[in-house]
Amino acid sequence: MSNGYYKTEVSVKEYIKLAKDVNGAELIEKLKPFLSLNSSILEIGSGPGSDWEILKRRNNKVVGSDNSKEFLNHLTSKFPNGEFLNLDAVSLNTNLKFDCIYSNKVMHHLTDEELVKSIKKQSDILNAEGIICHSFWKGEGSEIFKGLFVNYHEKEDLFKFYDPSFEILFLDFYTEFDKEDSILLIGKKK
C-alpha cells in the first residue's frame, strides 16, 4: 500500500519528532535469547533509526532499510557509518542473506495479501533456521490514518499467515500506548 505520509520531508521530520521517545528496546530484549552476538540482522522500515541503533550496539552486522527516500536520507546523515538499503517490505529485493529479520510497527502497513508475499520473501532471504521478530497493532480490520494504511491483526491471523514458513517461538500481546494494543511475534524459519 502506498503510504504518502512517510514520503515527504515535512511529515518525516514530524514523525521523527513525535517518535523521539519511542523505541523497541523491550522487544529487542525479548529477541536477544534467540540470537547470537555475531548474527546478521536486517531491519525492515528503520524509519528514525532508534531500533537500528539499539540493535547495532549489540550486533555488528545490522543492516537497516526503508522504502522511503526521506527516511533513508535521515538515516544516512544521522548514522554515516551505517549500512542502509532501499527495500520494500513486500518485494525485499536483495541478494543478501541474514540470520534475523526485525521490524517494529512496519508490517501493519501491508495488506493481508502483501503480508503473505513478504513472509515468503523473508523466508527466502534468511539463512537456515533464521529468526524473524515483528510487532503489529492488535485488532480487527483496517483503516486509513493520516493517509497511512493500517492493518490490524489478532494472534490467530498472524499464526495462520506465518505458520507455513515459520515455527512460532513467541506470540503475545504487549502494551505500547493502551493496554495490550500490540502483538510481538518471534519465529524460526522452517
Ligand X SMILES: C[S@@+](CC[C@H](N)C(=O)[O-])C[C@H]1O[C@@H](n2cnc3c(N)ncnc32)[C@H](O)[C@@H]1O
The stretch near ligand X (CB under 6 A) out of 39-47, 120-128, 163-171, 173-181 is 39-47
Smallest gap from Cβ 48 to ligand X, in A, equals: 5
Phi, psi of 66 (to 5 degrees): -165, 160
Which among 65, 59, 74 is positioned nearest to 10, based on CA atoms? 74
Which among 129, 115, 122, 127 is positioned nearest to 190, based on CA atoms? 129
The nearer residue to ligand X, 136 or 162, going by C-beta atoms, is 136
Residues 79-108 that bind ligand X (CB under 6 A): 88-90, 104-106
Confirm if 70 and 91 have CB atoms less than 8 A apart.
no
Torsion on CA atoms 54, 58, 60, 64, rounded to nearest 10: -20
Does residue 182 touch ligand X according to CB under 6 A? no
The nearer residue to ligand X, 90 or 131, going by C-beta atoms, is 90
Residues near ligand X (CB under 6 A) are 3, 6, 19, 24, 44-45, 47-48, 50-51, 66-68, 71, 88-90, 104-106, 109
